Structure 1
Amino acid sequence: MTTALAVQPLRVEPLSREAFAPFGEVIEASDAVKHFTINAGNTERYHDLANIEPGADGRVIVSIFRGQPRALPFRVEMMERHPLASQAFIPMSGKPYLVVVAPAGEAPTAAQLQVFLARGDQGVNYATGVWHHPLLALGGVCDFLVVDRAGPGQNCDEITLDTVGLIDSAVASS
């Protein structure tokens, strides 16, 4: 006999620097970050947007992840974390996507999950140890530039949630 898991509705909020601060940094060109003109006035540099941590004995690597679109409503059944280093995702396809996070530390419950709707021009840098769901592309295949760690040690922990988090399609589109 299979027991059905309880479901926790999840509220989606717009991604902002302030709301995401407990989990890492938002990577975006905005007036809220340090920026200045370079290249003889031809380029605006948005400077030092994320604290990239490769961890002990690690090195920073750059990859491209191609995320398949997720259908809504979406059931959040698992989470992962990288205990040795940070991990940054910068969208390259200009499409919005969802970010599901929970604080670093013990395995989270569905009630601890926070869901953000990121614009196609906003990236995120998950701080070391922050729980997050893998890519949640919306509206089509999306490429992401990913800056993370290569090196010794196990750097990905995955857990299955006891209660499923549910992202409702009507909520995510607002």
Structure 2
Amino acid sequence: MTFILKPQPLTAEAFAPFGDVVEAGTTTPIMINGGNTERYDSLVKVQTENPQDTAVINIFRAQPRMVEADADQSSMRIEMMERHPRGSQSFHPLSGEPYLVLVADAVEDLKPENLHLFLAQADQGINYHMNTWHHPVLGLNKVCDFLVVDRKGEGNNCEEFYFSQDELIEIRL
């Protein structure tokens, strides 16, 4: 059986069970720099399991993952999901491109029905809450860079879940 995922728009309300949408204009800014700059302050909280953990900033360079299925649509097979039990993880696009965000309900034995797909715009970042199942970054049209705020500390912070080969899960655009 094939399970088809189609993206819905990324909104703070729809994404709330999985994390935060990070974008300007969602809160009242604080004016700084002599009134020349709007500061949208404390949009998300970096979560870490242990007080000695630190937040680090990285750049991830994502290759486009969608393949042309036919003249009218692109597709991608979903085989795995991951989560970070010891800290949150936040992605902020740097390349001016939309991208996909695939997350899952908070269950241990993932099924295709647990998946939720969002289309993020080029000006929207996302912050996965600690322990949220998600697919690795999904660039669409070209190689895309993301500024990533991540947890660094002792212990493994990445768990992977692989779907059964009998479960054909596809993203279609």
Q: TM-score, normalised by structure 2?
A: 0.90
Match for residue 134 of structure 2? Answer: 132
1:84-110 residue CA offsets vs partner (Å, 9 max, x unmatched): 110000000010000000123413211
Secondary structure, aligned partner of 2:13 = helix
Measure how far apart 1:10 and its partner are: 1.1
Measure how far apart 1:11 and its partner are: 2.6
The answer as to 2:70 corresponding to 1:43 is no
2-structure distance, mates of 1:126, 1:77: 20
Alpha-carbon RMSD across the aligned residues, in angstroms, is: 1.1
The answer as to 2:11 corresponding to 1:27 is no
Residue 83 and residue 24 in structure 1: after superposition, are their counterparts in 2 closer, same or farther (change >3 A)?
Answer: same
Contiguous gaps of at least 5 residues in structure 1: 1-5, 170-174
Report the AA paired with residue 140 of structure 2.
Answer: L
1:113-167 residue CA offsets vs partner (Å, 9 max, x unmatched): 0000000110000000000000100110100000011111110000111223211
What is the identity percentage for the equivalent residue pairs of Structure 1 and Structure 2? 49
1:5-154 alignment, distance < 5 Å: 6-30=1-25, 32-56=26-50, 57-71=52-66, 72-154=74-156
2-structure distance, mates of 1:118, 1:14: 7
Q: TM-score, normalised by structure 1?
A: 0.90
2-structure distance, mates of 1:144, 1:75: 22
Corresponding residue pairs, total: 163
1-structure distance, mates of 2:75, 2:33: 46
Report the AA paired with residue 2 of structure 2.
Answer: V
Measure how far apart 1:38 and its partner are: 1.1
Secondary structure, aligned partner of 1:18 = helix
2-structure distance, mates of 1:164, 1:87: 27
